[in-house]
Amino acid sequence: ETGVTQSPTHLIKTRGQQVTLRCSSQSGHNTVSWYQQALGQGPQFIFQYYREEENGRGNFPPRFSGLQFPNYSSELNVNALELDDSALYLCASSLEYLSETQYFGPGTRLLVL
Amino acid sequence: GENVEQHPSTLSVQEGDSAVIKCTYSDSASNYFPWYKQELGKRPQLIIDIRSNVGEKKDQRIAVTLNKTAKHFSLHITETQPEDSAVYFCAASSGGTSYGKLTFGQGTILTVHP
């Protein structure tokens, strides 16, 4: 059984650019949630995908969007990057969306200059 | 929406002492409360969780207690070891349409001195 993986590990972008982050869920898990963790803060829920459909969204603007693929891997896309988007982006997978236990990936650290 | 407050923000103990971290939540519909440990530069790791139909859960040196009436839950670590040093986060989830939406506390930096 493989754990949750994310790529890339680090990324540097400039304001206004667009970024795509990727997540492979744990084997057998069909639900992926994305979180943003600013330095010194707890993770904040961005959105969740279940069987390729968005299944709940936190308080983030529409320039944060996502996709889930038939193999349950997922992407987080952020358009028009702002300095405040600098953070650790974590994805977490769970067996079913009704299963609350979530396992996190190692994260992608994004720096926006 | 749900709001989770966590205290203290930093906690320093001597090896072998106990450590207690407390969280309060605002949404009475919340029914799932996990605790995560995050070491520097690493992913959050689930260390224990509790559901609202249980008042206490224990796993070796770690225990979690839940008081639904007062809307607070606590993490207890006994016989602390230097490797317990990390940031600990509590979280809450209210199920229903919020399944999978964890609301986290601000974190507690635990330092265990040898």
Higher pLDDT, A55 or B86: B86
Residue in chain B lying closest to A10 (CA): B41
Mark yes or no for CB contact A104/B102 under 8 Å. no
pLDDT at B72 > cutoff 80: yes
Task: Give the highest mean pLDDT range of A47-51, B26-30, B59-63.
Answer: B59-63
The CA dihedral of B9, B10, B15, B19, to the nearest 10 degrees, is -20
Q: Say whether residue B52 is in contact with chain A using an 8 A CB cutoff.
A: no
Residue in chain A lying closest to B98 (CA): A56
B residues 4..43 contacting A (CB < 8 A): 4, 6, 32, 34, 36, 42-43
Q: Say whether residue B85 is in contact with chain A using an 8 A CB cutoff.
A: no
Q: What is the pLDDT of residues B3-20, one digit of tens each?
A: 999 999 999 999 999 999
Looking at chain A, how many residues does it have?
113
Tell me what pLDDT residue A98 has: 62
pLDDT at B68 > cutoff 80: yes
Inter-residue contact B65 to B73 (CB < 8 Å): yes
Tell me what pLDDT residue B94 has: 75
**% pLDDT > 90, chain B:** 79
CB count within 10 Å of CB A72 equals 21
Calculate the average pLDDT of chain B.
93
Chain A residues touching residue B104 (CB < 8 angstroms): 42-44
Q: Which two tokens stand for residue B18?
A: 């106990």
Interface test with B, best of A100, A101, A109 (most B CBs within 10 A): A100
Give A95's pLDDT tier (boundaries 50, 70, 90).
confident
Residue type, A26: Q
Of B6, B44, B107, nearest to A104 by CB-CB distance is B44
Q: Which residues, in sequence order, are bridge partners of residue A31?
A: A50, A94
* Chain A with chain B: Cβ pairs closer than 8 A: 66
Dist CA A8 CA A107 (whole Å): 8
Chain A residues touching residue B6 (CB < 8 angstroms): 42
